[in-house]
Amino acid sequence: MDALTQFKEAQKQGWAHFLPLETITTPAAAKLVRFAGLGEGQQVLDVACGTGVVAVTAARAGARVTGLDLTPELLQRARENAELAGVEIEWHEGDVEQLPFPDCSFEVVFSQFGHMFAPRPDVAIAEMLRVLKPGGTIAFSTWPPELLIGRLFALVVHYAPPPPEVAPPPLWGDPNIIRERLGSAVKEIVFDRERMQVAALSPAHSRVMMERAGPMIKLVEKLSRENPADLDLFRREYEALVAQYLEANIVHQDYLMTRAIKI
Ligand SMILES: C[S@@+](CC[C@H](N)C(=O)[O-])C[C@H]1O[C@@H](n2cnc3c(N)ncnc32)[C@H](O)[C@@H]1O
């Protein structure tokens, strides 16, 4: 197995624990759908859909929706979410770097904190734009490198460096880099900032929530097995960082939304 395939397998195992965090990304989904200016009856793709929060929101707004994700455990939950919400969505297990759809299939392509985790940004964005119709909208939410989640990524990478082929996900939160990556394939790029508010009684509560419900599980397992002293250090640094963004029992996790029109 090559390094990228191994990396994606490890990602899949980490993301399998993401389910409890869907309550946090649910309000952000409504913001992204509104930001994209979604129209009724439009054909929509939600890449890296996870438990389907954007897909279900778009379907409830009248769109015809397809969701795709790497992680089967999350797609199982996505199916349950769609059924509970009373909407029909087509689900695919797959990779944003190799989308199983013909060129120009969709009028809107969404990604909420999703394609930013693909190791090769140029491949992921080329695929997302390939399946989008000319005149269609691409809209995504990403974590900027200079804000809390971007800084937490940098901390995690310090303790568990990925293979060199993997681009840092928070670069997708930098407007200059986004402009470069979208290139001449799009027009009318618009950025906006939003704030995710996550309740936490203390920095340790925030840390424990993230350690139990996402890819951080893998890092904690690794450090507790190989280097418990580093695990203590990691936890202290994590809490010190979160403390800077915790006010009145709310952790402020600001992020960037981007939309553009395919030429
Ligand atoms: C932070 S979660 C976001 C999930 C969902 N979009 C939301 O807002 O709740 C990141 C998602 O990206 C998916 N993912 C990571 N790498 C991927 C890839 N190469 N192709 C497709 N999905 C991927 C994970 O399985 C996970 O569901």
C-beta separation of 108 from 42 below 8 A: yes
Is the confidence at residue 214, as pLDDT, over 90?
A: no
**pLDDT of the residue at 215:** 78
- pLDDT band at residue 33 using 50, 70 and 90 as cut-offs: very high
132-176 pLDDT, tens per residue? Answer: 999 999 999 999 999 999 999 999 999 999 999 999 999 999 999
| Alpha carbon of 118 to ligand 1 centroid (Å) | 9
**pLDDT of the residue at 108:** 98
47-101 pLDDT, tens per residue? Answer: 999 999 999 999 999 999 999 999 999 999 999 999 999 999 999 999 999 999 9
Tell me the average pLDDT across 218-234: 94
**pLDDT of the residue at 59:** 98
pTM: 0.97
- pLDDT band at residue 213 using 50, 70 and 90 as cut-offs: confident
Ligand 1 nearest atom to the CA of residue 22, by list position: 9
**Class of residue 5 by CB neighbours under 10 A (exposed 0-12, middle 13-18, buried 19+):** exposed
Residue nearest (by alpha carbon) to ligand 1 atom 1? 113
Residue nearest (by alpha carbon) to ligand 1 atom 18? 95
Tell me the average pLDDT across 240-260: 98
**pLDDT of the residue at 40:** 93
In percent, the amount of the chain with pLDDT more than 70 equals 100
| Alpha carbon of 114 to ligand 1 centroid (Å) | 4
| Alpha carbon of 113 to ligand 1 centroid (Å) | 7
**pLDDT of the residue at 135:** 98
Query: Mean pLDDT over all residues of the chain?
Result: 96
- pLDDT band at residue 5 using 50, 70 and 90 as cut-offs: very high
Domains of the chain: 3-196+255-262 (3.40.50.150)
Ligand 1 pocket (Cβ < 6 Å) reads 8, 11, 15, 18, 22, 25, 48-51, 53-54, 69-71, 74, 95-97, 112-114, 117-118
Q: How far apart are the first and last CA of the chain?
A: 38
Ligand 1 nearest atom to the CA of residue 46, by list position: 6
Is the confidence at residue 1, as pLDDT, over 80?
A: no
Q: Is the dihedral of CA 108, 113, 118, 120 positive or negative?
A: positive
Residue nearest (by alpha carbon) to ligand 1 atom 10? 114
| Alpha carbon of 51 to ligand 1 centroid (Å) | 9
**pLDDT of the residue at 129:** 98
Tell me the average pLDDT across 105-124: 98
Is the confidence at residue 11, as pLDDT, over 80?
A: yes
C-beta separation of 36 from 259 below 8 A: yes
Is the confidence at residue 185, as pLDDT, over 90?
A: yes
Residue nearest (by alpha carbon) to ligand 1 atom 26? 50
Tell me the average pLDDT across 215-239: 93
Which residue from 8, 18, 68, 97 has its CB within 8 A of the most atoms of ligand 1, so it is best to mutate? 18
Tell me the average pLDDT across 194-215: 93
Q: Which amino acid is at 263?
A: I
Which residue from 32, 91, 113 has its CB within 8 A of the most atoms of ligand 1, so it is best to mutate? 113
